Amino acid sequence: MKDFVFIFRQPSYDYSNSSAEEMAAINKKWNDWIGGIAAQGKFKNHGARLEVAGKVLKPGGVVTDGPFVEIRERLGGFIVVTADSLEEATTLAHGCPALDADGSVEIRPIFA
């Protein structure tokens, strides 16, 4: 067994106008998906969910409020899972709600 990080990237999306029901539906999707990984005994820990706002420091001391990267690839957060191989970890990543939102999951082994 080896540890892998799932890094979630999603296009920027302004959730401030979403209704409580919409937010609850999104939360449920994520919880059910992670719950499914945990039910296989493969969930290791929550990395961190990142807040939307922040700063970017660039060469020459330039500080901006963003965009952090290309608009399609805002880092949303990450979790740590365990799997036998990179292939198995990739299979686990299927069904991730970030994909429904036109985002992606990056699967990266952690150095043991």
* Residue choice 40, 54, 56, 66 for contact with other proteins (CB under 8 A): 40
* Cα 14 to Cα 26, 39, 40, 61, 89, distances in angstroms: 13, 32, 33, 28, 30
* Residue choice 38, 50, 75, 101 for contact with other proteins (CB under 8 A): 38
Least separation in angstroms between residue 74's CB and other proteins is 24
Stretch that binds other proteins, among 3-11, 30-38, 63-71, 102-110 (CB under 8 A): 30-38
* Residue choice 32, 84, 87, 100 for contact with other proteins (CB under 8 A): 32
Those residues with Cβ within 8 angstroms of residue 82's Cβ, 6 or more apart along the chain or in another chain: 1, 2, 3, 4, 42, 43, 44
Kindly state the number of chain residues that form the binding site for other proteins, as judged by CB under 8 A.
Answer: 12
Which residues make up the interface to other proteins (CB under 8 A)? 28, 31-32, 34-36, 38-41, 43, 46
